[in-house]
Amino acid sequence: MSERDSDRPEFSAGGEDDHLSDEEIERALAGFEQEFQEDAAGGSQASDGPLDGQAGPQEADPLTSGGFDEELEGLIGNKAKAALIVTRLASAELLAAFCQISDISAVCLEDSEGAVAVLRNLDGDGPEAAVKDLTCVISGLSAMLVVNRADKLEAKLWVDGRSGEAFPPPVLFASAAGFVEDLLIGAADVDMLTAQGIKSFDSGDMDQAHAMGVIASHTRFRRGGGPASGRVE
């Protein structure tokens, strides 16, 4: 018999002893109360770790997380890993203004080789739609769209809303900003480059009036013309 069992009141069976006195009932209740308190204290300690047959705290399953879905889309090419519009414009602010009036969400980085727009919409043919809109709205502007899909780099020239000649990426890298390749392969990001002192302008930070003011400061308009009929200086 355990020490705990020895503390429990014993009840006799049979005869008049079946009727408990008030004193015996109080002793029984006191014993049960003490046993309950001891069990509760032991249970709180056990709850600190996983119970037998029960798993402990589960870690996030990478197969069901949103990050896995996004990574899978990138691996199979449904979503580009990175997409850039490379131009010969001297001003990243001007490129951001062009992106704003073309409804393109991008961060534009400045470089002596030409401003570069880092596109945010990477789903499906979003990058192609962006460069098409940009070169349609800004007549005469030529731009190179460079995309990383499923770790395959593609570079193609766009003019007046139409795609043209494709270029081997190494040829482009030789004549573009030094950070273009790093952005495409994931060796750098916008925050890293701005921390290094590269000027950046977000098209989302401009409204249309601001964008038109920037464009006006860089372009010469013909009478009655708009940005599509102006000449970029």
Listing DSSP states for 22-82 in one string gives HHHHHHHHHHHHHHHHHHHHHHHHHTTSPPTTS--SPPPPTTTSHHHHHHHHHHHTSB-SE
Within a domain: 58: no
From 109, 57, 63, select the one nearest 86 (Cα to Cα): 109
Q: Check residue 219 and give its pLDDT.
A: 76
pLDDT per position as a tens digit, 132-163? 999 999 999 999 999 999 999 999 999 999 99
Within a domain: 86: yes
Looking at the structure, do residues 115 and 39 belong to the same domain, yes or no? no
Looking at the structure, do residues 138 and 202 belong to the same domain, yes or no? yes
Looking at the structure, do residues 27 and 111 belong to the same domain, yes or no? no
- Find residue 109's DSSP bridge partners: 116, 200
Q: Check residue 42 and give its pLDDT.
A: 57
Which of 28-37, 90-99, 172-181 has the weakest average pLDDT?
28-37
Reported as a pLDDT band with limits 50, 70 and 90, residue 223 is: very low
Per-residue tokens: 6: 């020895």
Q: Exposed (0-12), middle (13-18) or buried (19+): which is 100, by Cβ within 10 Å?
A: buried
Looking at the structure, do residues 128 and 205 belong to the same domain, yes or no? yes
Mean pLDDT (whole number) for 8-25: 50
Is residue 54 within 8 A of residue 48, CB to CB? The reply is no
> What CA–CA distance (Å, rounded) separates 100 from 44?
60
Crossing angle of helices 126-137 and 92-101, in 10° steps, is 100
Q: Check residue 67 and give its pLDDT.
A: 57
Looking at the structure, do residues 84 and 34 belong to the same domain, yes or no? no
Within a domain: 50: no
Reported as a pLDDT band with limits 50, 70 and 90, residue 125 is: very high
Looking at the structure, do residues 26 and 97 belong to the same domain, yes or no? no
Looking at the structure, do residues 179 and 106 belong to the same domain, yes or no? yes
Looking at the structure, do residues 33 and 146 belong to the same domain, yes or no? no
Mean pLDDT (whole number) for 34-60: 53
Within a domain: 54: no
Looking at the structure, do residues 115 and 24 belong to the same domain, yes or no? no
Q: Is the pLDDT confidence value at 194 over 50?
A: yes
The domain tally of the chain equals 2
Is residue 222 within 8 A of residue 230, CB to CB? The reply is yes
Q: Which domain holds residue 97?
A: 80-221
This prediction's pTM = 0.65
Looking at the structure, do residues 112 and 207 belong to the same domain, yes or no? yes
Within a domain: 162: yes
Helix (H, G, I), strand (E, B) or coil at 8: coil
Reported as a pLDDT band with limits 50, 70 and 90, residue 85 is: very high
